Amino acid sequence: MKAEYKTKAQQKKFYNSAAWKGKQGIRQQALKRDNWECQECKKAGRVHVDSAKVEGERKSVQLNVHHIMELEDHPELALKLSNVTTVCLFHHNEIHKRFYGSRKIDEWRDEKW
């Protein structure tokens, strides 16, 4: 049976699996391959690395491993290292068109009649 990741529950189960999240999982392999740096920031000549773990405290998330071809549309690529890249939270939200706070005003709609 072919794996499906259409529902939030299916996706959550996948993202909590050892194949994705484990010490030898695809997520860790991608972070190591990308030197724990955001690849989008790197393209722009900037450096954004992962935060350090402080003993006794929860580690803040600075980087995500992003599926280039989306999980729900291409489940066959879910665990392919060539289909994932490391990005910072800003770029991950930008890729998924999730914006928080103020957004740029459309230049053609700024005039009030």
**Mean pLDDT of all residues belonging to the chain:** 86
How many structural domains does the chain have? 1
DSSP string, 15-62: HTSHHHHSTTSHHHHHHHHTTTB-HHHHHTT---BPPPPPTTSPPPP-
pLDDT at position 26 over 70: yes
Q: What is the pLDDT of residues 44-69, one digit of tens each?
A: 999 888 877 778 888 777 899 999 99
Give the global pTM.
Answer: 0.78
Question: Cα(51)–Cα(71) distance, rounded to whole angstroms?
Answer: 26
Residue 94 domain boundaries: 62-100
User: Both ends of the chain: CA-CA distance in Å?
Assistant: 59
Residue at 75 is within a domain: yes
pLDDT at position 33 over 60: yes
Residue at 93 is within a domain: yes
Residue at 34 is within a domain: no
Question: Cα(70)–Cα(51) distance, rounded to whole angstroms?
Answer: 26
Residue at 112 is within a domain: no
